[in-house]
Structure 1
Amino acid sequence: MTHRLPDFDTANATDEQKAVLQNILSGPRGNLNGPFLGWIHSPELADHAQRLGAFCRYKTGLSLRLSELAILVTASRWQSQGEWFIHYPIALDAGVPKAVADAVQRGERPTFDSADDALIYEFATELYETRRVSDKTFDAAVKGFGHVVVINLVGLLGYYALVAMTLNTFGMRAEGQTTLPFPE
């Protein structure tokens, strides 16, 4: 995993850690790939974060394609090796065009065929670059997705920034990752 965290051995896990691991494995993810084996050292944080993550990934009201595009924008902004490695193939499978994903990885503004894709990209990019969202972009997002989904989109962006920070801080890579999508 990483030299910045102690090795985690499920045989020596506390009851709280075992409960969190079981919740993650029995949930929609079904695996521990990502920040979970880092967070497990703080089982209370791990439990709250994994439940928030399940909501942000599967229940925001956005299509999987739009959620995955927002996650790719986040991974690129944070240059999160593991996050990109995990979500890039999921995004492509969900319908994010390869040319769009590759431009996001390079830090370039993609050319979009979908107005919804462009809006998600613009919203996330504005929020990351300016720490705000313009009235024009906000109004377009509310018109296109509704207030609740826009609130959920902000939550999704915040959650995946937490994931990126965790993976970057502790030098964590995705399971099976042998290449890095971003320079170090």
Structure 2
Amino acid sequence: MNAPRVLVAYGTKNGSTASIADIIVTALTAEGVHADARPAGKVRDVDEYDAVVLGGALYAGRWHRQARGFARRHAKALHGKPVWLFSSGPLDDSADAGQIPPVPQAAEAVRKLGAREHTTFGGRLTEQASGFIAKAIVRNGRGGDFRNPERIEQWSKTIVAELRANAGSPSGKP
């Protein structure tokens, strides 16, 4: 059997979500999966992929517009393919403390894409952040790096386990 091909698409403003996508790709690749990380706004076709992971940064309680646009553009093509979603953004340890429900736009993408799961990872906001609000957050001492690479890797391994468990199913669904 050929190794599955997984697209990890992401919407990011300051690079934190892109770096989470890279951690996911590295973890998937280490498990023998062919994986590519690409900005969600640049993906034109998902046909060559067996599964998709879609991530979006959280800003002011909204899921990144490129992640929302990806979900709209590719909903029909993703029908029947395994899809997982993630958000990144809490600037504290809350994402590691327990499951955070998806914001409304991410919840809509879960429904629209029939996603198997949504999870939230901590984000990162540094002095290099762009945008007035982001700079103000950092200036007020509320920035930092709250990503947890070990948790991201573990989540990625659950994706691999599901892909392997469903490898014999024509639809990829249990």
TM-score normalised to structure 1 length: 0.31
Q: Give the strand-richer structure, 1 or 2.
A: 2
